[in-house]
A and B are shown apart, each in its own frame.
Chain A
Amino acid sequence: MSTPAPRKQIHLGAHFPGVNNTTVWSDPRSGSQIDFASFEHLARRAEAARFDFFFLAEGLRLREHKGQLHDLDVVGRPDTLPVLAALAAVTDRLGLAGTINTTFNEPWELARQFATLDILSGGRAAWNLVTSSDAFTGANFRRGGFLPYEQRYERAAELVQVVRALWDSWDDDAVVAHARTGQFVRPGSIREVRHDGAHFQVRGEFTTPRGPQGHPVLFQAGDSADGRDFATATADVVFSAHSTFEAGQAFFADVKGRLAAHRRTPDQLLILPATTVVLGATAQEAAERSHHIRLQQVPGPTAIAFLEQVWGRDLTDHDPEGPLPRIDPDVENLDITRGRVRHVKDPRTIAAAWREQADANGWSIRQLVIEVTSRGGFVGTPTQVADAIDRHVQEDASDGFILVPHLTPTGLDDVFDQVVPLLQERGSFRTEYTGPTLRHHLGLARPAPRATRSHADRALVG
């Protein structure tokens, strides 16, 4: 008899609530999305539960709807990297992952910011690389909306190449600080970087030592074919939107299957979908709570605003508790909402399908919006949820999850208290951190310094 295979280890991230209608602000327990105390609460609780990392999203322009700032959801958040640097002061082991755009930032700056975060946190930095390149966001930057959509991953790839060259331009043991001889860095241990590409021309000696992780962990969150290619070639973690079991397995197989072409192995790229958890003492109680949360997430005006995105016209004269509009979408006005991902299908087709669905089920506008915007997520008793999470991971629908709470900052407290211990009992989740860095938590190797790597390359061809 063979011994049972060791259980695949689950990786978990704690997502700070975002600026969209997943986050419920009308609940009496809802706290500030700005005060540092909120960030500290979630990070400390996540660390106590031995989570792999804490996660921050980013958006560089406030969303607009019908030509005005969208005012129904949480609006406003602090800057990603300073928040993570501050969290490094109040946590010891938790990974600190931040979303940063590659279109409206420059490689020299990003390289020193992430190297600094990695050093200040003792090797816990991660960068979720996003490529949003729209002119709407660009209006906040001197370059404006200069980047054609097709070039967003081209720029991102070149940017990562430059950033990695900068991180590798200091040897790991460059700083010797020999007071007696006056040698602060070992001669030859900092090399000038020269890069002359389509998007960047960079030349100089980099300012910041190589961080404890060599390279901070790189996440990627784009879902297009280009995005998947980029992830398989370059990223350590994919932050995906495919959280259901079947879609997860399909995505997992697709992305991991592309790795061999890049001479990478499946354990070198982790797939972590975003998901939500709603718990109850019984399955029914959990379902009721979940329904209550959905109602909080989609109040009447939010339902109408959502519909307006598809209809391209003002629908405020419609009752959210009443039937869907009989009038057809205005296909000339699809830019009605700006600052978030757009629908790609023909709105008339979507509208017809929704009308049909609503008629068949007797749904109001609000009920329909609740149904069509539901992303699944785990709903059940702690045992049911732990079983489901574990099954997703053991059966290769994911390598773990990034959990998105609906309440700031306490929304994951019950998961930490009730679900994590069950995963630990099953032997699928760590009970203690076993190393200092995020790469260690995620089972990712530390990238070799450049000197060693080029030597290895030579050995390969020779």
Chain B
Amino acid sequence: MARPTSPRPLHLGVDLSDAGAHPAAWRTHGSQAQRLFDAERLQQLVDTAQRGTLDLVVIDDSFSLQPTRTTTLRGRLDAALVAARLAPRSRGIGLVPTVATTHTEPFHVSKAIATIDHVSGGRAGWQLGWSADDDDARDTAHFGRRPAVSEAAAVAEAEEAVRAVAALWDSWEDDAEIRDEATHRFVDRSKLHYVEHDGVHFAVKGPSITPRPPQGRPPVVVRVRSDESFGLAARHADVVRISATTRDEALDLRLRLRAAAVAAGREPGDLRVLADAFAVTGPDEASARARLDLLTELDGVRWDTDSLTHVGTARKLTDTFLDWWEIGAVDGFVVRPSSLHTDLDALVDGVVPMLRTARAFREHYAGPTLRDQLGLARPANRFAAIA
């Protein structure tokens, strides 16, 4: 039964971190845990996500190993470089690594994300990361640069970093490169700008060494996990990841985020609010339950999630997605497959076709860039003279 076409398409991302969102996912049959750090395994996952015309993949990162209390899995690759590695052999799909600002210089963050945008033809996003003492005390010790900071302080620093990074992206106007043979000038220097960022945490002169990315400014993704990160998201995020266990909770968060964005002088329509959705799927409910039981048995403890968690068929997951989306509780979801190898296939081959039938989800990519998929306009350059 086809529903009326909505002017507001549903957005779907998938989290490609580790072997899946469940701590024991790596131990399940077919997880390819031996190849966890193999670029071709990740490339195959992106191929699958791209087959489902998903908006984006996100890749977590941290300067710390996975905490022993949550999983036996160990080891991470630098997420930005993984995203770059996945770029040349993918099309349409957004590549969103986590890059933390607590230690990494805004100048480095800005050119890394800009470069992923260049090598992918406009498909980079940036999931803003930070490390505060309450969740990742060890991060700061690794650097020895200074003691661990509170969530409020880490978010305040992240906010300053996102401002500096966005200014650096704009520090080259789109038409700065002129290659003018008559005057022998390669660039028009009036279109390159010092950002002169002089804040509490950073001083950055600019301009960037890297020309403005194809998307102008790659979308910034912020996860809301605290009051502080809520404010940061409302002021700076293009995509907000929320945790919500009920539709009403999501609706309330989305409305509050949009109101806070308006209060910050933004268009509420410029925000895409995506709820995290943990998924354990199976051909019928009993087999999905059995999969979760196996995972629980392997892990030894009940799976502890903080957002919508679906255990059941692709049909039921589709219904839940449509239910939340139709009343405007969310703009979409970031699916966190319990086991990547099983639940990503179920999403792409099960949920996506049903969402398409319901006219809620695209048949083809809307254009080459991540902004195209998200329906976000390319931003004007803050430094460009108003014509």
Chain A interfacial positions (CB closer than 8 Å to B): 25-26, 34-36, 39-40, 59-62, 68-69, 71-79, 81-83, 85-90, 104-106, 108-109, 112-113, 116-117, 119-121, 139-142, 144, 170, 174-175, 177, 179-180, 182-185, 190, 200-209, 299-302
Contact = CB atoms under 8 A, between A and B. Distances in A.
17 contacts: A62-B207, A68-B189, A71-B189, A72-B186, A75-B177, A76-B172, A76-B210, A79-B112, A81-B81, A85-B82, A120-B39, A120-B81, A142-B201, A144-B203, A184-B73, A202-B143, A301-B184
A410 B320 CA distance: 54
Q: Which of B65, B141, B181 has the most CB of A within 10 A?
A: B65
Interface stretch (B102-110, B252-260, B354-362, B366-374): B102-110
A112 B78 contact: yes
B187 A75 contact: yes
B74 A182 contact: no
B107 A81 contact: no
Contacts of B184: 26, 72, 299-302
A208 B61 CA distance: 11
Interface string B57-94: 00000111100000011111110111111111100000
B78 A34 contact: no
Given A88-B85, A140-B107, A179 B65 contact: no
A140 B62 contact: no
A299 to B, nearest CB: 5
A200 B24 CA distance: 36
Given A76-B187, A205-B65, A142 B77 contact: no
Contact of B85 (A68, A85, A190): A85
A104 B104 CA distance: 10
A104 B206 CA distance: 15
Contacts of A201: 144
B187 A71 contact: yes
B64 A207 contact: yes
Given A79-B114, A109-B104, A60 B209 contact: yes
A305 to B, nearest CB: 10
B24 to A, nearest CB: 8
Which 8 pairs show the lowest CB-CB distances between chains A and B? A201-B144, A82-B84, A85-B84, A139-B205, A79-B115, A177-B33, A116-B78, A78-B115
| Most B CB within 10 A of own CB, among A81, A141, A170, A177 | A177
B209 A59 contact: yes
Given A26-B181, A61-B209, A73-B186, A34 B118 contact: yes
A179 B204 contact: no
B8 interface: no
A89 B74 contact: no
A184 B119 contact: no
Given A72-B184, A108-B63, 5 more contacts: A61-B205, A82-B116, A116-B81, A142-B105, A205-B65
A82 B298 contact: no
Interface size class of B (residues with CB under 8 A): 35 or more
Contacts of B143: 106, 108, 202
Contacts of B75: 170, 175, 185, 207-209
Interface of B: 24, 26-29, 31, 33-34, 36-37, 39, 43, 62-65, 72-78, 80-89, 103-105, 107-108, 111-112, 114-116, 118-119, 121, 138, 141-145, 172, 177, 179, 181, 183-189, 192, 201-207, 209-211, 298
A73 B189 CA distance: 12
A316 to B, nearest CB: 12
A208 B77 contact: yes
A11 B83 CA distance: 31
A69 B82 contact: no
Nearest to A30: B179
B54 to A, nearest CB: 20
A125 to B, nearest CB: 10
Most chain A Cβ neighbours within 10 Å, of B74, B189, B210: B74
Given A79-B111, A82-B81, A82-B119, A204 B26 contact: no
B187 to A, nearest CB: 5
Nearest to B39: A120
Given A60-B209, A76-B187, A144-B203, A36 B37 contact: no
B210 A36 contact: no
Contacts of A74: 186
Contact of B88 (A86, A209, A300): A86
A79 B99 CA distance: 15
Contact of A83 (B108, B115, B145, B172): B115
A203 B36 contact: no
Given A79-B115, A89-B88, A203 B26 contact: no
Nearest to A26: B181
Interface centre among B24, B83, B119, B184 (most CB of A within 10 A): B119
B187 A207 contact: no
